[in-house]
Structure 1
C-alpha cells in the first residue's frame, strides 16, 4: 500500500521564498515498493485510493486540501492554509500500445505517455529519451512537476508550439472520496485512449472539449490531478544562438514576427534567400541602460543525430539561460544594499555575447542556476502590442521604483485552455524578474508595483493577461473579468458542474477567492456529459 507521512507544521514557503504562508498539515505520499507491488498500474491505482482517503480526512475535518509539486510558483496559487499534499514522490509512468487507443484516435501510440502527477520535467525528459522521444516544449528550467506546469500554464518561448498544457491529451482527476470520483477527461474531438484502458485506471471517462479545456489550466482547483497523458515527439536538437541585435531590429521581429526576411544569422538563411523560422525567440531588456542594442536568443529546430558537440560547456557558463540568473550575475550575487544593486543595473549594459550551442530540449533548458529569493511579474499581450507595452511597463518600473530587476520578452502560440494567459494568436510574455527587496526601506512594495503596471496597461487600452504562477496584485478589483471576460464565468460553470459543492470548497484556497474564481455557479449536468 502507498504510505503517507503526515507532518504538523506552522508554515510553508515557495522555492523562491515568496512566503512564508501558514499551514496546519503536510502530507507526503510514497508509492508502494515495486518489490511488493510489481505492476506500475497497480501502484498507480493504489496511490489513487490513498489520495481519496486523504480527501476523506480533510472533508471530515471540514478543511481544505491542495496538491503541490516543486513549489515553483511565486504567487500563492499552490498554498492552502489547512492541508497540503507534496506530490513529487508519485512519479510512475506508462507508455501505450495501439490496442489502448480509441478507434477514432488520430494519435500514434508510440507518442503517448501517461505521467503521474509528481514527475518533474527533468525526469520526464529522461524517461522519454529512453523511448527516443522528447517533450514538445518546456519552461525555462526543468524542476516543475507536470501537474504544476499545466495548472499554472508554464511556458517557454516556442513560437509555434505553445505552453506545456498544449500537448496534454488526457487528464486523470480525483474529484472526491467516492468510488465514482475518479474521472478521465479528454477532448471528444480528439480522443486518445479507449474505454478499456480507462477502466484499468478505475476511472469513468468524459470526452468533452469544453470541460477538458476548462480543467486544463485548472489552477489546482479542478480536483487532484493524478495523471497527465501527453503527446511527445521524436527527439530533436535545438541550435541556440545568443547575439546582440540593434534595438529597432529586435523590436521589429517581436512586433512583426517576420523571421523569414531576417538575415542576421547567415547559417539559418536558405539558398533561396528565405530564412528559417526559429523554434524559440527571446529578447533581454535592461530598462535602466539603453545602448541601442538588445541581447536576443534564437533557437532553431534540427533533426536529431548522435554526433553533436556537448552543449554543456556553453550552457553552464551562459548568463542568458534565464532572466533571474542574468540579473543576479550582473549584480555579482545579491548585495546587501539594493540601491547599490540598482546602480549596477543603471551602469551596466547587458554583457556582450555571441554564443552558439546545440543540444536537445532537455539539455538546453537545464537545471535552474539560481533558486534563491526572487520575484517575477509576467504580462501576456498580443505581439502587436509588444513595443508599446514594454515601454509602458519599463517606465513604471523606473518611475515607481527603481526596482532590482530587468525585462525579457518571450513568445508563445495561442492556447485552447479556457484560462490560459496565452490568449492572443501570438502572445508576447513581457516579464520582469529580479531579487526581492526590503519593502520597509522607502521602496515601493511588490504588490503596488504590479498594481501600477496593471493600471498603466488599462489606461493605455492594451488587453493583457497575467501569469498565474507569478507575482501580481491578485486582489486588483475586477482583474480576472477584465482579462478573461465571459471565459471566467465559463470556467466556473464547468468547475461547479464537475465538482460537488463540498469538493468545490475543499479544493479552493485563498488565491482562488482573491481572484473571484471560487464563486458558485449553478450546476449543469449537460456541461459535463461525455460527447463521444
Structure 2
C-alpha cells in the first residue's frame, strides 16, 4: 500500500528560488541570535509507491487514490483541530492552502503553499494501457496510449518510451518538469503545428477530496473501458467518471487549484529522429513576415535547407533585431540525401545557458578578479561601466546574445547534427548549471500574425537596457486548455531570458572567490544589473500594449501578472461564457466546499483566478 511521510516546519524553495518558505522577509526579520527560527511549511508530505511496482498502471492509481484521500482527510482533521504554535499561521480562521509540487519549476507562487504541501515526485511511473482497459471506441492508438503518474518527469517518459519505439510529441526546452506540472501552466515547446505539453494528455485522474476521485476524458473520445474504470477502484474507492469536454479542457490547465493530479493518460508519438540545424543569418523584414505567415518550409529554404521542418526557434539580439546576426534553430525531417552530410557531434547549448555562464562567472572567480583578467587582455574599454562588468562575466563578449552566438553552434554556413530522437535533442533536465536562482524569465504569447509589429516594438522599448538578456521566439498551434496562455489559434511566444535580481544581489553582497570584498564599482554594477530583467519585462509589456498587440503571459513565469490583466484576457467575470468563468464552473463541479477551501495557492489568488 502506498504511504505518505511528513516533515514539520520544513524550509523549502522552488527551483528558481523565487518562492521560499519561510518568506525571505520573515527570514530577514528573524532574531537568530536570541534563538528565534521562522517556521517553513507547516507540513510537507511525500508519497512513496515502491510496494506497488508490480501492479498495472490503472491498478496503481486505484491504490494511490485512497492514500491521497487519506492525506486530504488528515488535512481536514488539522483544520478542525488546530494545534497552536507561536509564529505559525495555522490558526483558527486563517485560510489553509494545500499545494502540490512536482519539480518546483514554476517561477510564480503557484507552488509553495505555506500550510501543507504535497511533494509529488513519488507519483512517478509509466505503463502501456492494457488492451482490456482501453475503450473499444477510443480514437487513440492502443500501442501509443500510456498511463503515467502525475509526478513523472518528461525525462522518465522518454527514457521509458524511446526503447519501445515511442516518444513525446513535444516538450519544453528541458525534460525536468513533471507531466502534471507542465500541463498546469500550458508549458510549450516549438513543435510546429502542435499545442503545448497539455495537448498530449487525453485523460485525467484527479483526487479531489477525502471521499472523491475523478476520471475525466473528452466527450466522444473515450479512453477507458468499464474494466479500466473498475481497475481505478482496485484500492476500494470507485471513481466518478465524467466524459465531458468542457470539464476536461478546464482541468488540463489546472494551475494547481483543482485537486491532486494522481495520473494522466497520454497519447505518445511514434519514435522519430530529426536533424538539428543551426545558422546565423540576418533577420530581414521579409523573413519575419514569412515566419508570421507560418510558412516554415519557405523559411527553411531561405536558410538553405530543403527538408521539412518540425521545430523552429528564433533567437534575436534585443538591441539589433535587423542587425547582422540572428540565430535560427530547426529540427528537420532527414532525407537519405541529407543524412549523408557529416553531422556535428558537439552538444548544442540553448540561449538560457548564456545567462547561466554569467551567473557561474559571478562565483567562479568573482567579478573583480574577472574584470582584472579582462583588463590584462587589453580589452577594448567600454563607455558604460556595466558593459565592462558584462564583458567580465561573458569572456569579453558585450552581451548575452553575442556570447550565445559565439558558442560554436551557429555560423553563417550553418551546422547540421546527425538524426536524433526527441530525448537526445533535449539532453538537459535542468538549466541553472549548479547556480540555482540565476535565471529570470518572462514569456508573452501573441498572435503569430503580429510578430513583426511586436518584435519591432519590444526591441525599441528595451534599447536603453544593458545586454544581459536575449529574446527567443517559439511557436504553438491550437493549444488545448480553457486557460492556456497560448490562447491564439496560431501563437508566437516571446521569451525574455536573463540574469535574475536574486543572483546579482547575492553576488554584490558577498566577497569574491579570494575572500576580498568587491570594489564599489563592481557592487554598484551588480546592483544595477539586478534591475535590468524586471525593467525589461515591464518594458515589453508596455510596448505590446502601446503597439496594440494583444498578448497573454505565462502563468508559471515572471513579469508581474495581475488580476486586471487576467480578467482582461480571460474574463469578464460577469460573462458566464468567458474562459475564466467556465474554468471556475468546472472547479465548482470537481471540488466541494472543502476542496475549494484548500486547493488554492498565492498566485491564483493574486491573479484573480479564484476568489
TM-score w.r.t. length of structure 2: 0.76
- CA apart distance, 1:450: 3.3
In 2: Cα distance, 1:80 partner to 1:71 partner: 12
In 2: Cα distance, 1:308 partner to 1:432 partner: 37
Indicate how the Cα distance of structure 1 residues 133 and 312 shifts in structure 2: closer, same or farther if over 3 A, else same: farther
**Counterpart residue number, 2:352:** 324
Matches within 5 A, 1:273-352: 276-289=307-320, 291-302=323-334, 313-315=345-347, 318-319=348-349, 322-329=350-357, 333-334=361-362, 340-342=388-390, 344-346=397-399, 349=402, 350-351=405-406, 352=410
Whose helix fraction is larger, Structure 1's or Structure 2's?
2
Aligned residues of 2:319 and 2:462 also touching (Cα < 8 A): no
Q: SS of the counterpart of 1:24? A: strand
Q: Are 1:195 and 2:226 matched, yes or no?
A: yes
Q: Are 1:264 and 2:264 matched, yes or no?
A: no
Matches within 5 A, 1:51-66: 51-62=68-79, 63-66=96-99
Q: SS of the counterpart of 1:77? A: coil
**Counterpart residue number, 1:422:** 486
Structure with max Cα Rg: 2
In 2: Cα distance, 1:302 partner to 1:368 partner: 26
Q: Deviations over 1:402-455 (max 9, x none)?
A: 362111000111213111112112210000111213469355375554344323
In 1: Cα distance, 2:581 partner to 2:400 partner: 47
- CA apart distance, 1:232: 0.8
Match for residue 288 of structure 2 among 233, 247, 251: 251
**Counterpart residue number, 1:47:** 64
In 2: Cα distance, 1:57 partner to 1:30 partner: 17
Indicate how the Cα distance of structure 1 residues 133 and 518 shifts in structure 2: closer, same or farther if over 3 A, else same: same
Q: Deviations over 1:111-137 (max 9, x none)?
A: 100101111111111111232111111
**Counterpart residue number, 2:268:** 232
Aligned residues of 1:132 and 1:234 also touching (Cα < 8 A): yes
Residues 208-217 or 454-463, more deviating:
454-463
Aligned residues of 2:2 and 2:52 also touching (Cα < 8 A): no
Unaligned runs of 5+ in 2: 23-40, 80-95, 234-238, 368-385, 392-396, 506-525, 572-577
Indicate how the Cα distance of structure 1 residues 324 and 346 shifts in structure 2: closer, same or farther if over 3 A, else same: closer
Residues 352-361 or 64-73, more deviating:
352-361
**Counterpart residue number, 1:359:** 420
Q: Are 1:24 and 2:31 matched, yes or no?
A: no
Q: Are 1:510 and 2:510 matched, yes or no?
A: no
Indicate how the Cα distance of structure 1 residues 204 and 177 shifts in structure 2: closer, same or farther if over 3 A, else same: same
Matches within 5 A, 1:472-491: 472-475=559-562, 477-485=563-571, 486-491=578-583
Indicate how the Cα distance of structure 1 residues 240 and 47 shifts in structure 2: closer, same or farther if over 3 A, else same: same
Indicate how the Cα distance of structure 1 residues 332 and 126 shifts in structure 2: closer, same or farther if over 3 A, else same: closer
Aligned residues of 2:173 and 2:189 also touching (Cα < 8 A): yes
**Counterpart residue number, 2:499:** 435
Q: SS of the counterpart of 1:15? A: coil
In 1: Cα distance, 2:3 partner to 2:181 partner: 22
**Counterpart residue number, 1:381:** 446
Match for residue 405 of structure 1 among 439, 453, 469: 469
In 2: Cα distance, 1:332 partner to 1:289 partner: 26
Residues 106-115 or 39-48, more deviating:
39-48
Indicate how the Cα distance of structure 1 residues 44 and 102 shifts in structure 2: closer, same or farther if over 3 A, else same: closer
**Counterpart residue number, 2:376:** none
Aligned residues of 1:173 and 1:227 also touching (Cα < 8 A): yes
Residues 165-174 or 196-205, more deviating:
196-205
**Counterpart residue number, 1:3:** 3
Q: Are 1:118 and 2:156 matched, yes or no?
A: no
**Counterpart residue number, 1:456:** 543
Q: Deviations over 1:191-246 (max 9, x none)?
A: 22223202211222100010000100111111100001010121101111010122
- CA apart distance, 1:308: 9.9
- CA apart distance, 1:456: 2.8
Aligned residue-pair number: 501
In 1: Cα distance, 2:342 partner to 2:205 partner: 38
Unaligned runs of 5+ in 1: 270-275, 520-532
Q: Deviations over 1:438-487 (max 9, x none)?
A: 46935537555434432332232211111111112023x51111222321
Q: SS of the counterpart of 2:164? A: coil
The alignment yields a C-alpha RMSD, in angstroms, of 2.7
- CA apart distance, 1:328: 3.4
Aligned residues of 1:289 and 1:345 also touching (Cα < 8 A): no
In 1: Cα distance, 2:131 partner to 2:60 partner: 23
In 2: Cα distance, 1:11 partner to 1:308 partner: 54
Indicate how the Cα distance of structure 1 residues 332 and 24 shifts in structure 2: closer, same or farther if over 3 A, else same: closer
In 2: Cα distance, 1:163 partner to 1:185 partner: 19
